[in-house]
Structures are given as structure tokens and as C-alpha cells.
Chains A and B, each alone.
Chain A
Amino acid sequence: MFHIPLFLISLLLLLPLTKERWVISENSSLMVNGSTNVNKFACEIPAYDQSDTLTVSKNGRAAVLSGCVGLNIASFDCHNTMMTRDLRKTLKQKEYPRLYIQFLSLSEISDVTAKTQTITGLVNIELAGVTKRLEINYQISADPAKVIHLLGTKDINFSDFNLIPPRKLGGMIRTNDQLTVTFHLKIKTI
């Protein structure tokens, strides 16, 4: 008997799987925006301190990604020494000095052009020893130098990673649980 789902799966498996390697350049960055009941803060890792490679396996329009980016918590800069130290302490820098973003998939990856496309993708974020799988909204484009710009944004909560948002003076000054994480990867294909 002819089994349609099995036939389709077999066809999918027969589709050519193209592989590409993406090198994340050192001037990629990550920004965290948050707020307290008295102010707002924006902390960034202005320049990625190493170059990592992601493997992109294209399967039709979607893509499977493998590769991981590790960021030093000590590289966070909130443009205010005290806030920077406070953020590092909150993120348990001494116990967990790195934040990892493991790339898993992209919903769609056709030819990347100068025109910005909006796509989604799955990542695992490991922060303070806790790993969370999250769907990220990306904007992807390429510049004339053929550098791919992957701009990812996601709202996360301190509590998602078992972190306690700082509260000072008996709770009169409170940091809100939600943070917006934005990362800008500049990628060269090889």
C-alpha cells in the first residue's frame, strides 16, 4: 500500500542539503536593556572578543544551525561603573563567567540581500548555569561587502534563569524582571 506521509518524508530526506559556514566577526555586539523603578539602563558587550563559526545546513527554505557563541559577562559595560558591577553581580559572573548562545535553527533562509528580511529562529541561551530554549525574532540582511547582518531581539526575564532582579533599600528601589536582549552578529560566509 502506498503510504503518503512516509513518501513525503523520504522525498524531504532526498532533497539536497547544502552546508555553509558562517564566521561571526569580532565586531559583533550584544545589548541588554532593562529598567528599575528609578531609571533605565542599557548594558552592552560592544565587541565580541573572539571569532566563532556557525554551520548552516540549508534544507529547502529552512536551515539547521550548529554552533555556539560564548560571551564574557565581564565584558558587559553599562556606561556607569556601579551599574556595570551590579549587573555582573546579578548575573553571577564569579560562578558563571560566560553567557552562551547556541544557535539551533532559522525558519527561513533564502538568498540574503540588502533588503532586510524578518525571520525567526531557535536558540538555547545559557545564563548563570540555566539553559532556556527561546524563539528569537531576527532581521537579516547583507551589506555591499557581503557581510551578513543578523539582528536578533528577545525579551527575557531574570526569573527565567533563576536570577533575582536586584532590589535595594528594603525593596524601595526595584529592578524590573524583564530585559530586552538584542544581538547584532556580523557574519562572513566561507
Chain B
Amino acid sequence: MKKIIISGLLTGCILFVLSYGGLWLAVRFFSALFAEYNNPLFNSDGNRDVLFYLHAFIFSFALSWFWDRFKSMFRGHMMLRGLEFGLVYALVALLPVMWISFSALDVTFVMVLSWFAYGFIQAAVAGIALARLNP
């Protein structure tokens, strides 16, 4: 349990820096892609900002438990295990969620595709970190 929490916390810190740093850079350098977020579907008064920024840790703790439970199924080099873990997460969790999001919400395909890519990269990075921290 202790290992799950510690590796989850450290992975959360890595994801926090990479995710929000990456997002900040993407908004700065590919600003046109983000114009679609001026949409009432997205919270606009800032009252959920804390929840938004906590996402990295919610994600890392969930993946840390998942990794601990199924890590024996991912074999090979740390990088390969992490990438495979990210791919499994993308197929099992992300794809169905993105599918239902695109079918039910008034969002563009490019937006949903970017969420899928973002989620896959996050899960792969988390997988690599977890393979290193909790082999």
C-alpha cells in the first residue's frame, strides 16, 4: 500500500509538471487549436480550478494502483513496459470515453483526438515512471 501511495505521489508530481507545462506551452504556441474551448460546455467561472489541477494526482493514484495490480503482465525494458501500459489504458479506458464524448457532446473531432493523444501520453509517462518506481 505504501509503495502504491509513494509511487502514485511521485508520478503525480511528474504528471503535474509535464501535463500543465505542456498544456501551457501548447496554448502559447498552438493557440488556434484552443479557440474551440470558448464553449459553454467548459466551466468558465474558475470555481473548479482546484479540481482541474488535482487531476494529475487523481490520475496517478488510480494508475499506481492499477500498475501494482497488473505490473507482472508488462514485461521487458522499463520504457517498453510504460508504453505498453499507456497503450492498454488508451484502448481500455480512453477510447470508449472519447467515443461517447464525441457522440454526446458538441465538441469537434480534433478536440476529442487531442484529448485521446493527451491521455495516452500521460498514461505512457505514468507507466514509465511507475515501472521505474515500482518495478
Contacts and interface: CB of A to CB of B under 8 A. Distances in A.
Contact of B38 (A36, A164, A170, A171): A36
Nearest to B36: A82
A85 B32 contact: no
Interface in B7-46: 20, 23-24, 27, 31-32, 34-46
Contacts of B32: 38-39
**What bracket does the count of chain A residues touching chain B fall in?**
20 to 34
B70 interface: no
Given A90-B44, A166-B44, A172 B39 contact: no
Interface in A118-136: none
Given A37-B31, A82-B36, A173-B27, A168 B42 contact: yes
B52 A169 contact: yes
A19 interface: no
A170 B46 CA distance: 6
A146 interface: no
A182 B73 CA distance: 64
Contacts of A41: 38
Interface of A: 36-39, 41, 80-83, 85-86, 89-90, 164, 166-173, 175
